[in-house]
Structures are given as C-alpha cells and as structure tokens.
Amino acid sequence: MRFDEPSRSILPVVLEPKWIGREFLGPTLSFIKDVANTPRIDKAIFILMYLASNVTTEITLESLEELLPHALEEDEPDSRWTLIQAMQSIATATTVCSDPQLRFLGYTLLSRFLDMCADDAKVYVLSELLERCPWSAMRAASVGLLKEQVQRAFDDPDLHILKTPLLVMKILPIIYKAETKSLFWHNYSFHMQALNFYLYVLIRDRQTNMTKVWDKPVLEVIQTNYFDPLKEVAEAIKHEAHEKEKQLNKGQGVPEGEENPIVMAMRVEILQNVIESIQHQWNLMEAERKESDSS
C-alpha cells in the first residue's frame, strides 16, 4: 500500500500531527482532569509531548480562550474547556503527580507550550502560573520556566516583550511579595528560585537596563516589599534553629516531625548567601553611580 495515495488509505491523515492536534486535543486533555489517575495522565502527556515536538504553530492570546474540541465524556456539562484551562490542569497534574519522571515531562511540556505562545500570550500564561496556582512547588517551577523564557529573550537580538520594562511592571510584582514566618519553609523552594532569577536579571541587564530593573524606584520597591521582610524572617528562623541546635548538643533529640536544626540553619544560610550576592550587585551599582555623578 502506498501512503501517498489518499484514495487508498486515510492512515497518513490520521498520523499527521496537525490532524491529531485538531481532532483529539480536547479528548486527550480530558485525561488530565482526574489528577489522581496517573495511568491516564502519563498517556496524555506522552501524546501532548509528541504533538508539541511535531506541530509548529503560534498560540495567541485569543486562542487561549477558545473552546477546544469536545472531550470524550460528551454528557459532562464541562466537557468543553479552553486552552488556558487545559494548561492549568497540566500544571496541577504535574505538581501533584507522585512519579518524578512524569513531573519532569509535565514541566517540559509546559516549557514547549510557552515556546509556542506569542509574546502577549506568554506573559499571560506565566502570570497565571505564578499568581493563581495554589501549589508552591508549581510556582517555584514557574519561576524556572520564566527564567528560561527570559534567557532566550536576552539571547535573541530581536526585541522581545520579556526583556522590556513589562517584565518589571507585570511579572516581578507577582513574584516579590512579603513573606510570613509561618509560610517560610512551605515557600522555601519558591524563594530560592525567585532570588536566583532576580540575581540573573540584575547581572544580565546590568549594561543596558532594558527591563528597567536597575531603576532606583524599582530597586527600592523590591527591597522594601520583599527583601527586607524576607531577610528579617530568615534571620529569625536561623536564630531559632541555632537555639534548637544548642539543645541538641545537650543531648536532647529532635522532636518527631521536625527537621534537624543544623540542616535548617544551613538551608537558611544558603538563602541568605543569595541575598548577599544580590546586595553586592546593588552596592556595586551604587558605587558606580556615585563615581559617575562626581566625575
């Protein structure tokens, strides 16, 4: 059988990625609705990874809100959903899945999804992931996805929205908010990602300041709203860890359910080291500005 003869077989059409995407994207994504059903989720992610690798398209802001083809369960009232809802379901399924390999594939799928997005759609999707996702692990991963997209924008000589002041005006306020002591450990991974991302942008945009991340009002707002409260919380937690460490040295064991205070103190110090690196960048820029003003 020759597959280049349409009259003899529809198999070439059925196997064509664009046709699969158009006809079965909705039904495939419906597999992800039940986040506890890992066997269905892994099949859906593998299909979507295939489509993402073989279909070249641009996802616009308008297409994010378009209804996808019907899911398999036609009798369900919510059997039709939008692409942005599907993306949010992928993020949720990826976060709560117990299989680390599947989580990695889910993050990779989200990264490829972002690669297909137009600039305005990309900003919208990243904002949704960072602001509305209830899972701290997914928010931390979203900062990683953001850094990946920003790095590509800086590497590309063409103008990209993620290396303009919109990054500072739209994205950074979502990420850099004051932390409370009670949620510090819950959000620890997120803060580590956020701090390293901010340090990356400072270093990468030091010469051109295309994003306006080096503007003094921006620096002051981020320091007041995020860094000062975070430093205060981190110092308080490290002090508590050292006090517990003293009790541990006296022969008292670690209470059940609590992390070893030595490990806690080390993790806080790692975070503080990144903050110090950021402060060092600020100090260098301030010294350069003073030297420039005096000359």
Q: How far apart are CA 102 and CA 45, in angstroms?
A: 8
- Binning pLDDT at 50, 70 and 90, where does residue 77 land? low
Amino acid, res. 221: V
User: Could you tell me the pTM of the whole model?
Assistant: 0.84
Burial 97-111 (b: 16+ CB within 10 A, else e): beeeebbebbbebbe
Residue 176: exposure state from Cβ atoms within 10 A (0-12, 13-18, ≥19): buried
- The C-alpha atoms of residue 121 and residue 139 are separated, in whole angstroms, by 18
Instruction: Answer yes or no: is pLDDT of 5 > 50.
Output: no
Give the confidence band of 42 by pLDDT, cuts at 50, 70, 90. confident
Residue 252 is classified by DSSP as P
Task: Supply 33's token pair.
Answer: 């609705």
Using 50, 70 and 90 to split pLDDT, how confident is the model at 19?
low
Predicted pLDDT at 233: 96
pLDDT at 10: 44
Contacts of 55 (CB under 8 A, 6+ apart): 17, 18, 21
CB 43: neighbour CB atoms within 10 A?
Answer: 14
229-275: pLDDT as tens digits: 999 999 999 998 888 888 776 666 656 667 788 899 999 999 999 99
Under the banding of pLDDT at 50, 70 and 90, the label for residue 87 is: confident
pLDDT band at residue 114, thresholds of 50, 70 and 90? very high
Boundaries of every domain in the chain: 15-117, 134-251+260-294
Q: What is the DSSP letter of 253?
A: P
* C-alpha to C-alpha distance for 5 and 152, rounded to whole angstroms: 42
